[in-house]
């Protein structure tokens, strides 16, 4: 569908007045408009997100299906927990990364109340997202960018009589500059409040 295009004063061969519609401009006959180029406005495709959890190590409180199945990129394999309310699974990104999103793809055994928590030491966990009204299916979660190596789904109340079960547990980082927040090491630096190696990628 092409709309809202205006042509001014297109006078066709054999006519003394401007054409008023495409038919008068013989747009049905290519012999009258060879070489015409129409340049549509380009709407950029959304940037593809990279799943930072893909094929990373995953650890869970219990497993009726292997925890690795939650991060294998395969939507027909799943991790499942025991049938109790307090269950969790975390993924180790391998290094601390600036992250701002998690996408949970639940099987019918979903979390009604859970938190997304982040950590850099497996001891201190911070909530970056909390819900008590989870509805299963896909939970696409965004949060303020934070630096973390470990990302956990901490279940506190199940949404079914079963446990928690995820086809996939995906983690996303700040787009376009994955180096933001990563540790920068320089051979030397002028250390002052405005100029140091850490300022090279502070966004
Ligand atoms: Ca899977
Ligand atoms: Ca959902």
Using the mean position of ligand 1's atoms as its centre, give its distance from the Cα of residue 167 in Å.
4
Question: What is the rounded distance in angstroms from the CA atom of residue 7 to the CA atom of residue 78?
Answer: 57
Confidence check: pLDDT of 15 > 90: no
Q: What does the pLDDT read at residue 65?
A: 86
Residue 39 CA to ligand 2 center (angstroms) comes to 40
Cβ atoms of 99 and 49 within 8 Å: the answer is no
Cα of 159 from ligand 2 centre, angstroms: 11
122: pLDDT confidence band, cut at 50, 70 and 90? very high
> Is 197's pLDDT higher than 60?
no
Structural domains in the chain, CATH included, are 57-173 (2.60.120.260)
Q: How far is the CA of 186 from the centre of ligand 1 (A)?
A: 39
Confidence of residue 8 (pLDDT cuts 50, 70, 90): confident
Ligand nearest to the CA of 104: 2
Q: Which long-range contacts (CB under 8 A, 24 or more apart) does 133-140 make?
A: 134/110, 134/159, 135/110, 135/159, 136/106, 136/108, 136/110, 136/111, 137/105, 137/106, 137/110, 138/103, 138/104, 138/105, 138/106, 139/102, 139/103, 139/104, 139/106, 140/101, 140/103
pLDDT at 19: 81
Helix ranges (H only) for the chain are: none
From ligand 2's centre to the CA of 48, what distance in Å? 21
Tens digit of each residue's pLDDT (9 = 90 or more) over 31-47:
766 666 666 667 777 77
- CA–centroid distance, residue 168 to ligand 1 (Å): 5
The ligand placed nearest to the CA atom of residue 138 is: 2
Least trusted range by pLDDT, from 23-27, 52-56, 65-69, 197-201: 197-201
pTM score: 0.67
- Tell me the mean pLDDT in the region 140-161: 97
CA contacts within 13 A on the Cβ side of 131? 17
- If you measure from the C-alpha of residue 54 to the centroid of ligand 1, how many angstroms do you get, rounded to a whole number? 10
The length of the chain, given as a count of residues: 203
Q: Which of 163, 187, 176, 177 is nearest to 60 (CA)?
A: 163
Band the pLDDT of 174: cuts 50, 70, 90.
Answer: confident
Distance, CA 130 to ligand 1 centroid (Å)? 23
Report which bound ligand comes closest to the CA of 106.
2
pLDDT band at 100 (very low <50, low <70, confident <90, very high): very high
**Ligand index nearest the alpha carbon of residue 78:** 1
Given a cut of 60, whether residue 190 has pLDDT beyond it is no
């Amino acid at each position: 569908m092409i709309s809202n295009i205006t042509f001014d004063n297109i006078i066709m061969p054999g006519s003394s007045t401007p054409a008023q519609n495409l038919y008068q401009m013989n747009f049905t006959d290519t012999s009258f408009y060879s070489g015409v180029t129409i340049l549509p406005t380009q709407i950029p495709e959304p940037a593809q997100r990279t799943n930072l959890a893909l094929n990373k190590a995953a650890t869970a409180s219990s497993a009726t299906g292997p925890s690795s199945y939650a991060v294998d990129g395969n939507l027909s394999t799943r991790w499942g927990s025991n049938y109790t309310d307090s269950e969790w699974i975390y993924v180790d990104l391998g290094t601390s990364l600036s992250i701002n999103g998690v996408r949970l793809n639940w099987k019918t055994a979903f979390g009604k109340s859970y938190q997304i928590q982040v950590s850099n030491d497996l001891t201190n966990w911070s909530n970056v997202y909390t819900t008590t009204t989870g509805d299963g299916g896909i939970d696409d979660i965004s949060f303020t960018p934070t630096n973390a190596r470990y990302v956990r789904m901490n279940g506190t109340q199940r949404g079914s009589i079963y446990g928690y079960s995820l086809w996939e547990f995906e983690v996303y980082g700040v787009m376009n500059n994955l180096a933001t927040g990563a540790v920068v090491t320089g051979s030397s630096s002028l250390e002052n409040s405005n100029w140091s190696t850490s300022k090279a990628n502070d966004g």
